[in-house]
Structure 1
Amino acid sequence: MIPYVREIDIEYGRCDQVSPLIRRVTANNPGPFTFLGTGTYIVGRGEVAVIDPGPDDPAHLDAILQAVSGEKITHILITHHHSDHSPLAGPLKARTGATIYGCAVAGHEEADTGEVRMEAGHDHDFRPDISLCDGGVVLGRGWTMDAIPTPGHTSNHICYGLREENACFSGDHIMGWSTTVITPPDGDMTAYLASLDDIRSRKFDVLWPTHGPPIRDVDAFIAAYIEHRQERVDQILGALKAGPARINELVPRLYADVDSRLHPAAARSMLAAMIHLVRRGQLKTDGAPGPDSTYRLAG
């Protein structure tokens, strides 16, 4: 069972000092994919970095600028291109002259379909000034950030490791309040699991997700995240022992205790798992794995 952490004291627009080098300002955009809102992080003093400035909200822009009154924003770091993370980067750059860092999404994504949206939306226009798709080190006054490519939730997701506090800004890759949505074709379960292993191997003392409170028992939490994904895989493999099936046949069986209105979202998540299992040689299907394919156990 995942040991979720959901308790957090926030007030929209307020700047909270959450560690010696880190401040947080939370945007007023609560929702099913953003929890209580986007937590924008400010790192350093005097000349600072802003991580995930959030949605294009003038009130949130004003709150960030007020939080750094008398200081200079030199760097804007983006974890990924979803609309609750990156759109305010442009307006913030326009007001401060800061350089935007991150990774532009490659290729094209399918629109969310079904009765339940799988995400808060996409910022397809996001283009950083400096690309960190291959990782790298970002230096500021009094702080050092390692850009860690963590594809999975999206193809362009990046976590940022703050060396001075052995802390990681985990974006939507690892969140304390919820599991992470993996939606093909841009989301990729195989890449996601590898990225989880990468972050776990770095032995951070604390994770700062963009939504919700920090995760301090890092290794145990990531282990539970991985175990949860494996349980879902085992359920699929167990169900297919009864014979070949399509995703729309499996979802009502494996998610019988879940509100049927959420089944379209479950089907998208299951597709990510199916693609992963076909790659691993545990499942077979005719042609490329897709939402309408028939899946069967290999061998």
Structure 2
Amino acid sequence: MVVAGPPAGLDDLSVAYNMAAVIPNVTRISSRIIRVLGCNPSPMTLQGTNTYLIGTGKRRILLDTGDSGVPQYINHLKTVLHNEKVDLSHIFISHWHHDHVGGINDVLELENTRECQIWKYPRSEDDTTVAKFDYLKDGQEFCVEGATLRVLHTPGHTTDHVVFHLLEENAIFSADCILGEGTAVFEDLHDYIHSLQLILELEPSIVYPGHGNIVHDPTEKIKFYINHRLQRESQILDILKENVDSCFDEMELVSKIYVDTPENLFPAAAVNVGHHLTKLAKEGKIVKANGKWQYKQT
């Protein structure tokens, strides 16, 4: 899931998915990549989930499966598999969110998937009724004709989130870690920043996101993501430093930081602030007492 933005200085809480360039239902991106749009648009999925058919041979990889119960997507995928005269050898799931894993059983009803393995990174709460998963490992590599994919565990958006490094193109399939438009939501900001830095060190030439259009300037985009978060963190830390004898809860910090934001959006902003506070606490910069936060004096 994603959130686009950020108009009016509202950080990553605003929606602008209708402003992006239209993504076709099916796009041949290169000789080894065909993008099939999940046809599940919403404020949280932008124009829909990007799924990718990867490889050049008879047996290929499908990355992500969109939502369940979307016949338009299944029809498009079926047509692509038929026209390409290919079967699926593997389905990769980038993470557990329904808009990436939900369509598995619909995809498996296609005759081109009879001997297909389904892979994802393990998560303690995995719903094994959805599918029988084989579990990915960090650094694991998969080869099909025309494509070599290396698995990179990139927690933050979710604990089980992975991206895939396409070695032939030095490209990253980024799922919900990096988006074509706007910024992403996350469960753990500390882990998310670390994952972004990991991808940045790879110096990818291009990023194929889970939502939105292709990112042709990945270094600039990733640095923007990191700096955007660190700027917000700096605001929070400055307030706590300037009031070392005081404690603040999330909503009190929101009222000081999100001064141009409508108050009805304060609860959502407080969630973001909470992620930053948890990260700062992990780094030993602040402490929590009686439900409120305070700068840690040395």
TM-score when scaled to structure 1? 0.85
**CA-to-aligned-CA distance 1:152-201 (integer Å, 9 cap, x gap):** 0000000011111111100000113111112xxxx211111111111111
> Who is 1:244 aligned against?
247
The correspondence of residues 56-75 of structure 1 with structure 2, limited to 5 A, is 56=68, 57-69=70-82, 70-75=85-90
**CA-to-aligned-CA distance 1:57-107 (integer Å, 9 cap, x gap):** 222112111111121111111111111111112331343122111123225
**Separation of aligned partners in 2, 1:152 and 1:128:** 24
Asked if structure 2 preserves the Cα contact closer than 8 Å seen for 1:52 and 1:77, the reply is yes
> Who is 1:86 aligned against?
101
**Separation of aligned partners in 2, 1:249 and 1:68:** 54
**Separation of aligned partners in 2, 1:10 and 1:79:** 20
Matched, 1:220 2:223: no
| Amino acid corresponding to residue 209 of structure 2 in structure 1 | P
Asked if structure 1 preserves the Cα contact closer than 8 Å seen for 2:23 and 2:213, the reply is no
- Distance apart, 1:222 and its partner CA: 0.8
> Who is 1:211 aligned against?
211
- Aligned residue for 1:266, secondary structure, equals helix
> Who is 1:134 aligned against?
138
- Distance apart, 1:125 and its partner CA: 5.2
Matched, 1:16 2:27: yes
> Who is 1:55 aligned against?
67
**Separation of aligned partners in 2, 1:219 and 1:231:** 18
How many residue pairs get matched? 273
Residue 36 of structure 2 is aligned with which of 21, 25, 43?
Answer: 25
> Who is 2:257 aligned against?
254
Decide whether aligned partners of structure 1 residues 68 and 220 sit closer, same or farther in structure 2, where only a CA change above 3 A counts: same
| Amino acid corresponding to residue 54 of structure 1 in structure 2 | G
User: How big is the alpha-carbon RMSD for the aligned residues of Structure 1 and Structure 2?
Assistant: 2.3
| Structure 1 unmatched runs, 5+ | 109-122, 288-292
Decide whether aligned partners of structure 1 residues 99 and 202 sit closer, same or farther in structure 2, where only a CA change above 3 A counts: same
Asked if structure 2 preserves the Cα contact closer than 8 Å seen for 1:106 and 1:155, the reply is no
| Amino acid corresponding to residue 260 of structure 1 in structure 2 | E
**CA-to-aligned-CA distance 1:14-42 (integer Å, 9 cap, x gap):** 32111221111112221221111111111
| Amino acid corresponding to residue 295 of structure 1 in structure 2 | W
| Amino acid corresponding to residue 271 of structure 2 in structure 1 | R
**Separation of aligned partners in 2, 1:90 and 1:161:** 26
Matched, 1:286 2:279: no
* Residue identity (%): 30
- Distance apart, 1:47 and its partner CA: 1.6
Residue 263 of structure 1 is aligned with which of 257, 262, 266?
Answer: 266
- Distance apart, 1:244 and its partner CA: 1.6
> Who is 2:197 aligned against?
197
> Who is 2:174 aligned against?
170
Of the structure 1 ranges 234-243 and 74-83, higher mean CA displacement relative to structure 2 is found in 234-243
Asked if structure 1 preserves the Cα contact closer than 8 Å seen for 2:40 and 2:66, the reply is no
Asked if structure 1 preserves the Cα contact closer than 8 Å seen for 2:104 and 2:131, the reply is no
- Distance apart, 1:126 and its partner CA: 5.0
- After superposing on structure 2, the runs of 4+ consecutive aligned residues of structure 1 that deviate more than 4 Å are 4-7, 123-128
**Separation of aligned partners in 1, 2:76 and 2:224:** 35
**CA-to-aligned-CA distance 1:193-233 (integer Å, 9 cap, x gap):** 11111111111100110100111111121111110010010
